[in-house]
Structure 1
Amino acid sequence: MIDWLPPWVRHYRRQWLAGDVSAGLLVTLLLVPQGLAYALVAGLPPQVGLYASLLPLPLYALLGRSHAQSVGPMAVTSLLVAATLGKLGLATPADYLLAAVWLALLSGAMLLLFGLFRLGFLADVLSEPVLAGFTAASALLIVLSQLAPLAGLHSGGASLPAILATLWHQAAHYSPHALLLGVPALLLLWWARSGLPRSLQALGLGASPLLLLARGMPMLVVLGSMLAVGVLGWHGQLPQVGRIPAGLPALAWPALPAGGLSALVLPAFFIALINYVQSLSVAQLLAIPRRETVDPDRELLALGACNIGAGLCGGLPVTGGLTRSVVNAEAGANTQLASLITAGLIALLLWLGSGSLAALPLTALAATIIAAVAPQVRLAPLWHAWRAERSDAVAFAVTFVLVLWLGVDSGIVAGVVISLAAWLMKSSRPHLAELGLLPGSSHFRNVQRHPCQTLPGVLILRIDESLYFGNARHVRDALLARLAAAGQVHTLLLVMSAVNRVDITGLAMLQRLDDTLGLRGVRLQLAEVKGPVWDVFGRAGLAERFAGRVHLSTYAAWQGLQPVPDFHI
């Protein structure tokens, strides 16, 4: 067998074929309306959403490792594209499309570089509360932005004030035909998420027919709306998709935008970051039931190649979609053959049946977007964070408000800043615990939480954070304050079990602290210094300074610091 083939090809089993075929068919029924709709969210021609799925699906099948990850356009990414390009003042639709293609190419190139340099940790730049707030606010913006096309109006704006202003100014020009078609479609899609599965189960249908009907409802709505327009003679009475070029897109390296690439680099980075976090999260979710692991760097390489492939096809940036991937897995996908089948069916549609999509009403696409995105407007993480950690709740709320008010492009920048600021704030004020010995044991605990023994004249403090430039001054001040409050102390023992690293600023702080305590007649001693931290001490020339004052364990230090008993004859 050829070594370069992905593992699922080398070890494919015949019994997997039925599940892969059914999953490929079902995801196609979901991806076609989603692809068309998400392209419109980005302000692009609808076929661009289908173009963006052609190469990425087989590229991920070749390079990715998730068995059911389905790569294609995503709602939040489309909104990011619209927000970015809407601020550039592009002269023509062709310039707008060209800039969107370059966003895919640039973000793909960045993801490839991140993967080559093994920068998978970039997924941690956004904290969970910030990411949840960003996702909820972005989903709400998408839902609100689609109210205009649902009513037959032109959508506009990438922030809450702009969207509301657009709706207000066009309110008198709504299309009754669009509402008569779009609102029932939305209600049907909403019912398909909750009521339909229960109804089908009551009828005794098995899991596979139930899944096929429930998940294929967006395509049924699309087909039904096209049929309704034809039967009722509503052509020209409401906005429609219009002509979609027949055939497959030509692979080509695009020309440079008229304004250059400088204005696209930073937005492309944030699009790459959001897409990577989304794709990695989906891959990890799908790996849990199969007890598999996900290589973040491998996902970076695969997703980078997918975005470059999307750009070469004239598409917009792509990522692993949660809904599509979960549907793919639930429909029985065992390998990435399901994605190859989906790509083949989309190519067949573009080649033979693209003309039939011209009569598709935009109000039906708006209904599919609202139904798909509305469940992501979740405020439950805010209440959970408020109960667990108030600072995380503040991070969620601030990100949510900023994304709504400023738009997703400015909101994601604010989200990264908030994540880093929250981490810096927490680590710059580390917890200091005064320790004592639990009676009858060799274990040490916080004296404020447990009844503990202490030694007279000895203050034992544990630093619950690494020592670095961001907290060195505060730790020094806090240690001196604790020492002053303790009264008569001749020894300060710092337990460094939670100190995982130390930088030059942290070392300088310890050196100055040692000098200050020496002038006061207080001896500074250390316990439980980890090997990598002690290596830094040695390279900085401080190992000799603290020689004889570093203890292997806190209990060993306790034994060495106990007063010598007096014997009387």
Structure 2
Amino acid sequence: MNLIPEPLRGYRRAWLARDVIAGLTLSAVAIPEVMGYTSIAGTPIVTGLYTIIFPTLLFALLGSSRLLVVGADSATAAVLAAGLTGLGIAGVTPGSPDWLAFASLTALVCGALLILARLLRLGFIGDFLSASVLIGFLTGVGIQVLSGQIPDLLGIPKGKGGWFEQQWHWITSLSSIELGTLAFGLATIVVIQIFRRFIPAVPGAVVAVVLLTAVSALIDAQAHGVAVVGAVQGGFPPLGLPSGISWSDVPKVVPTALSCFVLIIAQSAATSRSFAFKHGDAVDINRDIVGLSGASLAAGLTGTFVVNGSPTKTQILDEQKGRTQLANLTMAAVVLVFTLFFTGLLADMPKAVLAGIVFLIGVSLIDVPGLQRLWMRRKNEFVVAVITAITVFAVGVEQGIILAIVLSLLDLVRRQYTPGDFVIGQNQAGEPTYLPAKPGAQSLPGLVVFRYDAELFYANANRFADHFESVISAAPDPVRWVALDCAAIDDIDYSAGVTLANLVNYSRAHNARFVLVRPDTQLLSTLRAYGTLDTIGEDNIFPTLAEAFRAYRADPDPRLPLSG
């Protein structure tokens, strides 16, 4: 048995220095970032650090991706917070021990769902969130995240109620702005943006945290009304089941865990796949699900919240020329050392600094270029993205997840229900030509080769038949041959098989021969099982378009010319 984790197999000594340097750089970015995510998740600051210690270790040991960085993530943190808020259980409020216990329980249930997904090979679930829906979802999360930080940036208490009520609260409370808090918040944003623009090799968030925490300590900002983080309980992550939780609490977090589960598979699979393809590595999404399940279980058993594959941190790792999970293990080791010995340095850090970091994270999630591309190329998908985004920040993140799945499935059904259909002809060189399948179109005088670009099933079978009949009945010349091009039809359910048999009878009632062109062996086996192939006849099957055209020309109708 090979005990070396898959992402570390075939390791080269030349990669070591790069991996260590990439891990050190990544930890500098990750530490302030994951601390900021705790303000979204509603958990103590140290729990953000916990998300990249044992969860990162477990993914490195069990996953397949060489680069995917696992840890706290803004989208899953927002889903978690929305779900726990919706529980409405007394005592389960952001920042409370019970809140953290339920957050850890959600991670455990999410880990169990991921194990189930691996056993059932459900890695394909991530493919059911289309790119346009993901753009809209993450944009909505970004708007929710950044708008949620505005009160902390201004030093104003957060409002109650829905998203619009919360925005109205801070807008009508501008007279209560705490100027010192605003100064620290704006300074954080400015410092990060300056380094991002002019010195991208240096993590601006780290500079902002170190510099502004030092300023805060020097001027005793807390004494001037600036809210600070205060003492941060560091030390080794707690090991064990969440305290105060019973089996009866598990069903309460299942809906939230399901939402996180879908998002984790979709986001992590897309990230892992894109970076694997970039470097020519193999992709094993089901193996990554094993790693993600281990990471989620580790999160739940070490006193923290749900983790996810991070596109931004993975991009940073790639930019730093990291090659394997050793870079992530280096990051985890640095964070562990920081958690054990240096969290006391955070006591004077203004909360507005964390708010500024998270505010910019929210801004980065708003995919303006992606929305612009959708607007220019697929306006209907742009509308879907906008609807998803509005639902996420105005109604709720969980509702946005549900809508995203529903819209993606509806789009899939729509594409299958209304695919392209064509009448195929031939040019003078014998190459196929494709014309829209409209009444009046024909391939040759007396011949209609009809192509339907989707699998046939109960929902689109009648529409397929209607289009088919409209082309046949309106052909300029009496139709003698009807050919169905099956190149895009891999499968056909029983309802569609009955419809196809009826079309064969319809064609013969109009004195036309019905043939199949380019069917694969699986489709023929299915039609044979339905008995539809007996209706069509084995001699009415042609493996290529060219053979079908030749056969038609060899069977002339003396009433019609053979050129077309």
The answer as to whether partners of 1:177 and 1:238 remain within 8 angstroms in 2 is yes
Q: Which residue of 2 aligns with 1:175?
A: 178
Q: 1:555 and 2:554 equivalent?
A: no
Alignment of 1:91-240 (within 5 A): 91-92=90-91, 93-155=96-158, 160-168=163-171, 170-197=173-200, 211=201, 213=202, 215=203, 217-236=204-223, 237-240=225-228
Deviates more, 1:142-151 or 1:384-393: 384-393
SS in 1 for 2:39: helix
Aligned to 1:526: 516
Matches within 5 A, 1:275-354: 275-354=264-343
User: What is the TM-score normalised by the length of structure 1?
Assistant: 0.91
**SS state at 2:11 partner:** coil
Q: Secondary structure at the match of 1:481?
A: helix
- Aligned equivalents of 2:506 and 2:274: distance in 1? 52
Instruction: Give the fraction of aligned pairs with identical amino acids, expressed as a percent.
Output: 25
d(CA) in 1 for partners of 2:85 and 2:172?
19
Supply the AA of the counterpart residue of 2:132.
P
Runs of 5+ unmatched residues, structure 2: 560-564
Q: For residues 21 and 447 of structure 1, what CA distance do their matches in structure 2 show?
A: 58
376-385 or 101-110, which deviates more:
376-385
Q: Secondary structure at the match of 2:534?
A: coil
CA distance in 2, matches of 1:465, 1:71: 38
Q: Does the Cα contact within 8 Å between 1:95 and 1:257 map onto a contact in 2?
A: no
Change in CA separation of 1:522 and 1:266 when aligned onto 2, cut-off 3 Å: farther
Deviation at 1:119, TM superposition (A): 1.6
- Counterpart in 2 of 1:444? 432
Cα deviation for residue 400 of structure 1 reads: 1.9
Output the amino acid matched with 2:434. N
Q: Deviations over 1:221-245 (max 9, x none)?
A: 1122221111112224222222222
Q: Using the TM superposition, give the Cα deviation of residue 502 of structure 1 relative to its aligned residue in structure 2, in angstroms.
A: 1.0
> Aligned to 1:242, which of 224, 230, 243?
230
Alpha-carbon shift at residue 390 of structure 1 (Å): 3.1
Question: Secondary structure of the equivalent of 2:505?
Answer: helix
Distance 1:250 1:383 in 2: 46
Q: Distance in 1 between matches of 2:252 and 2:472?
A: 54
Structure 1 counterpart of 2:345, one-letter code: S
2: distance between equivalents of 1:292 and 1:456?
A: 52
Are the equivalent residues in 2 in contact too, given 1:104–1:310 (CA < 8 A)? yes
Q: Distance in 2 between matches of 1:159 and 1:522?
A: 64
Report how far residue 306 of structure 1 moved.
0.5
Amino acid at match of 1:89: G
Deviations 1:290-334 (A, max 9, x none): 221221111111111101111111111111212222222323323
Name the count of aligned residue pairs.
Answer: 547
CA distance in 2, matches of 1:282, 1:114: 18
- What is the CA-CA distance between 1:25 and the residue it aligns to? 1.7
The alignment partner of 1:262 has SS state of: helix
- Summarize the Cα distance change of 1:153–1:248 in structure 2 as closer, same or farther, 3 Å threshold: farther
2:536 paired residue number: 546
**Alpha-carbon contact 2:6-2:62 (below 8 Å) kept:** no
Aligned match of 1:564? 556
**Residue 205 of structure 1: aligned partner:** none
1:462 corresponds to: 451
CA distance in 2, matches of 1:306, 1:394: 35
Q: Deviations over 1:105-131 (max 9, x none)?
A: 111211222123222111111000010
CA contact (8 A) 2:22 2:321 kept: yes
- Report the equivalent of 1:204: none
Maintained 8 Å contact 2:33/2:357: yes
| Distance across 2 between alignment mates of 1:161 and 1:26 | 39
Compute the displacement of 1:505 (Å).
1.6
Amino acid at match of 2:377: A
> Whole-Å Cα distance in 2 between the matches of residues 471 and 144 of structure 1?
44
Question: In 2, Cα distance between the equivalents of 1:4 and 1:64?
Answer: 13
- Counterpart of 1:514 in structure 2 is 504
Contact 2:442 2:475 in 1 (8 A): no
Q: Is the 8 A contact 2:504 2:536 kept in 1?
A: no
Contact preservation (8 Å) 2:8, 2:66: no
Query: Within 2, Cα distance between the matches of 1:249 and 1:321?
Result: 21
SS state at 1:53 partner: coil
Alignment of 1:473 onto 2:462: yes
Question: What SS does structure 1 have at the residue aligned with 2:422?
Answer: strand
What is the SS of the residue equivalent to 2:514?
Answer: strand
Contact 1:67 1:333 (C-alpha < 8 Å) held by counterparts: no
> How much has 1:72 moved relative to structure 2?
0.6
Letter in 2 for 1:507: G
What is the distance in 2 between the residues matched to 1:153 and 1:308?
Answer: 37
Could you tell me which amino acid in structure 1 is paired with residue 531 of structure 2?
G
Whole-angstrom CA distance in 2 between matches of 1:545 and 1:473: 19
Query: 2 CA distance for matches of 1:395 and 1:267?
Result: 23
Residues 162-199 of structure 1: CA distance to partner in whole angstroms, max 9, x if unpaired? 431342354343221101111111111112111334xx
Q: Tell me whether 1:37 sits opposite 2:7 in the alignment.
A: no
Task: Measure the CA separation in 2 of the matches of 1:389 and 1:35.
Answer: 35
Q: Residues 462 and 496 of structure 1 are in contact (CA less than 8 Å); yes or no, is this contact kept in structure 2? A: yes
* Rounded Cα–Cα distance in structure 2 between residues aligned with 1:499 and 1:65: 34
Q: CA RMSD in A?
A: 2.3
Distance 2:384 2:150 in 1: 29
Distance 1:344 1:493, change over 3 A: same
Q: Distance in 1 between matches of 2:40 and 2:362?
A: 12
CA deviations on 1:416-464 (whole Å, 9 max, x unpaired) are 11111111112101222111121132x3222469xx9943222221111
Question: Secondary structure of the equivalent of 1:486?
Answer: coil
Task: Please tell me whether the aligned partners of residues 430 and 475 of structure 1 are also in contact (alpha carbons under 8 angstroms).
Answer: no
Shift of 1:364: 0.2
After superposition, residues 392-407 of structure 1 pair within 5 angstroms as: 392-407=381-396
Q: Retained in 1: the 8 A contact 2:126–2:267?
A: no
Unpaired runs of 5+ in structure 1?
Answer: 198-210
CA distances 1:273-293 after superposition (whole Å, capped 9, x unpaired): 212222222223332442212
AA of the residue aligned to 1:80? V
SS in 2 for 1:460: strand
**Cα distance change of structure 1 residues 138 and 302 upon mapping to structure 2, 3 Å threshold:** same
> Are the counterparts in 1 of residues 7 and 65 from structure 2 also a CA contact under 8 Å?
no
